[in-house]
Structure 1
Amino acid sequence: MKEDYLTEEVIAEMRSRYFRERKWRKIEPFRKSAVLAIDLQKYFLSPESRAFLPSVPRFVPRLVKFYSRVRELNVPIIFTRHYHAGGTMARWWGGDMPKDDLLNDLLDEFKPFAETVIEKSTYDAFYGTELEGMLGKLGVETVVVTGVMTHLCCETTAREAFVRGFNVVFPVDGTLTQNRLFHEATLRNLSHGFAVTPLLSEVLEWLLSG
């Protein structure tokens, strides 16, 4: 089920297939933005973890570069950190993700950008957290969703952001999951009804032009 899929060729193909220019033009004027950095934890990004995602070596440098530029532009980056104990998540996945597990710490490469971290216990970064209020206080109009995993926490959070009235940007190369099939399914669904799907580089161009 797992594969190293996030190549430049795949990224270009998915951008060509799912990016909607007319939808992007509708969102472009809403420049008061924040970047959501979903669950960039060692649990998913370190080779010693059973949940390691094979495309991590391609993905992490790309995202670090993006966050570095975003910070220079003074665009807020809000990180989430996931853990759960019991309940539906534990039943579904067959166990807990303990809060104090060292693998649930953020990956070291991302810590310099993690001035704001919200803890969550399910796929939706809005559920039971202060995220919506925080975005409201910042006057945010558009959220840029990045992180892991594409088809679970990232997709759920993108849908919930849309429902709450935010414009949603979901970069093709800004999230990661286990395989191309899961990644592409999310892009197909979100690009139809919830989000625009440009490249990270195009998001930076947009932020720079504001």
Structure 2
Amino acid sequence: MLPSIQSYQLPVAADLPNSRADWQVDAPHAALLIHDMQNYFIDAFGADSPMIATVIDNIRSLRRAAVDADIPVFYTAQPPNQDPAERGLLWDFWGPGLQEETEAEIVDALSPRAADTVLTKWRYDAFSRSDLEEILAADGRDQLIIAGVYAHIGCLATATSAFMRDIKPFLVADAMADFTPGDHRAALTFAAARCGQVTDTDHVVADLASSSRVTQAVGSDA
């Protein structure tokens, strides 16, 4: 029951809404969440979507920066062939959802590494029925960098939920995709005003590199 999604121009730095907060990504406190980048959701954009190619490239840049800065990387992935009782109200809006194992796989270009954590996704919010909050707390992480699909659904719901848990969400505008540019823009506008920091790939990569170097320098002086 997903729509057929047409490519559109991803937001650039000049397009981003001003965030009410003034947060900066700090490597020792951050984690990266790659949200729902499964074949089922990405296939909705059609074959050879230039927008999705850019989003994937940007997420790969974020992941490389995360690995270089030694921050944890999480993925969400919905399971296939869910029982209607387990799927709950999602059935009323989206039908049965994923059916095949191949649909549930993360797209090849973003395949998780052995060191990454894949969370089973049951609802829009990545914190729902998962141990994400506990894992972050145990590692002293109170920032969550969010990339993936769809911006106005799961990405925004997860950002709002993170805010409610005193975890600072960073929505990476050009490392997300959505049904329409209007949906994408609305998600960023709401987040910037109500629950998170809206940023772009270049800024996150730069902030991770900078804060990681500072941490390493402090450690070497200790």
TM bucket normalised to smaller: 0.7 to 0.9
Asked if 1:61 is matched to 2:60, the reply is no
2:89 counterpart SS class: helix
- The two structures, once aligned, show a CA RMSD in angstroms of 2.1
Structure 2: distance between partners of 1:207 and 1:30: 5
Shift of 1:163: 0.2
The letter for the 2-side match of 1:142 is: Q
1:40 counterpart SS class: coil
164-173 or 152-161: which moved more? 164-173
State the partner residue of 2:219: none
Deviations 1:59-95 (A, max 9, x none): 1112112211221111111111023442211121122
Quickly say closer, same or farther: Cα 1:73–1:58, change in 2 above 3 A: same
The letter for the 2-side match of 1:177 is: D
Structure 1: distance between partners of 2:130 and 2:119: 7
- Which of 1 and 2 has greater Rg? 2
Normalised by the length of structure 2, the TM-score is 0.82
Asked if 1:127 is matched to 2:128, the reply is yes
Normalised by the length of structure 1, the TM-score is 0.86
Q: Is the 8 A contact 1:39 1:80 kept in 2?
A: yes
Shift of 1:6: 3.4
2:173 counterpart SS class: coil
State the partner residue of 2:74: 78
Structure 1: distance between partners of 2:62 and 2:18: 19
Listed as ranges, the gaps of 5+ residues in structure 2 are 212-222
Shift of 1:112: 4.4
Shift of 1:30: 8.3
Name segments (4+ residues, structure 1) moved above 4 Å. 26-31
1:133 counterpart SS class: helix
Shift of 1:117: 0.4
Figure out how many residues of one structure are paired with residues of the other and give that number. Answer: 199
2:174 counterpart SS class: coil
The letter for the 1-side match of 2:41 is: F
Counterpart pick for 1:41 among 29, 38, 49: 38
Structure 2: distance between partners of 1:158 and 1:68: 22
Asked if 1:4 is matched to 2:7, the reply is yes
Taking only the aligned residue pairs, the percentage that are identical comes to 23
State the partner residue of 1:109: 109
Asked if 1:52 is matched to 2:52, the reply is no
- Which structure 2 residues correspond to residues 50-199 of structure 1 after superposition, within 5 A? 51-52=44-45, 54=49, 55-83=51-79, 84-86=82-84, 87-98=88-99, 100-113=100-113, 115-199=116-200
Shift of 1:113: 4.0
Shift of 1:158: 0.4
